[in-house]
């Protein structure tokens, strides 16, 4: 077998080249890593704020008689108790749930006295809730029991009515 002798000069040149390549690669990687460590990022998240006088307007265990009418006001606003306003574009609707056997008529009106039509699933249409400006909308609810509808089966029955405020954030393109 023939033995090959490595020449000293090309070996030193090869080791030197690999060392230079290693040092160059290490410095570039190290400086990029250091730059990432030294970087700083801040992110601010917009806060949605919407409120009903109470989270849910509830009218429970009320005793009514034929011919009775009960009325109440409630408000929807886009700011909190510290007057911090909503920061995102939102839409909302009101959902009315009547849990009663008593034949009452529920009427919901806006601040101008215009009756709000309830859709098939007993909710209003959607309304836009602005941001960066304070808004408070008054609603009025009227519960009536026709005095002609006085069946004895309704005696002692309670009326339970709930109004839920459902809010949805508007995503770009949904407006």
Integer angstrom CA distances of residue 156 from 58, 100, 102, 117: 19, 12, 10, 30
* Domain, as residue range, for 38: 8-42
pTM of the model: 0.65
Q: Please choose, from the candidates 92, 76, 97, 91, the residue with its C-alpha nearest in 3D space to the C-alpha of residue 140.
A: 76
Q: What percent of the chain has pLDDT over 70?
A: 70
For residues 55 and 133, membership in a common domain is answered with: yes
The residue assigned the tokens 């990687």 is 29
Average pLDDT over residues 22-38: 55
Q: What is the chain's length?
A: 175
Using CA atoms, how far apart are residues 77 and 13, in angstroms rounded to an integer? 78
Residues 125 and 154 reside in one and the same domain:
yes
Question: Whose CA is closest to 109, among 82, 146, 81, 74?
Answer: 74
d(CA 92, CA 133): 16
Please indicate, yes or no, whether residues 22 and 71 belong to a single structural domain of this protein: no
Same structural domain, 28 and 106 = no
- For residue 163, what pLDDT is reported? 87
CB 94 within 8 A of CB 124: yes
Average pLDDT, rounded, for the chain:
78
Nearest to 163 by CA among 59, 13, 17: 59
91 in the same domain as 57: yes
């Amino acid at each position: 077998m023939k033995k090959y002798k490595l020449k000293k000069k090309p070996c030193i040149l090869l080791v030197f080249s690999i060392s230079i390549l290693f040092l160059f690669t290490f410095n570039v990687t190290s400086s990029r890593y250091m730059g990432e460590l030294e970087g700083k990022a801040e992110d601010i998240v917009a806060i949605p704020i919407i409120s009903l006088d109470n989270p849910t307007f509830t009218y429970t265990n009320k005793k009514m008689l034929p011919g009775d009418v009960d009325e109440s006001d409630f408000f929807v606003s886009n700011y909190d108790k510290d007057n911090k306003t909503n920061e995102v574009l939102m839409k909302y609707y009101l959902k009315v749930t009547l849990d009663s056997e008593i034949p009452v008529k529920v009427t919901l009106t806006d601040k101008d006295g215009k009756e709000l039509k309830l859709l098939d699933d007993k909710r209003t249409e959607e309304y836009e809730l602005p941001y960066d400006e304070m808004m408070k909308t008054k609603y009025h609810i009227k519960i009536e029991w026709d005095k002609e509808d006085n069946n004895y089966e309704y005696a002692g029955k309670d009326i339970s009515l709930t109004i839920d405020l459902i809010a949805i954030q508007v995503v770009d393109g949904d407006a």
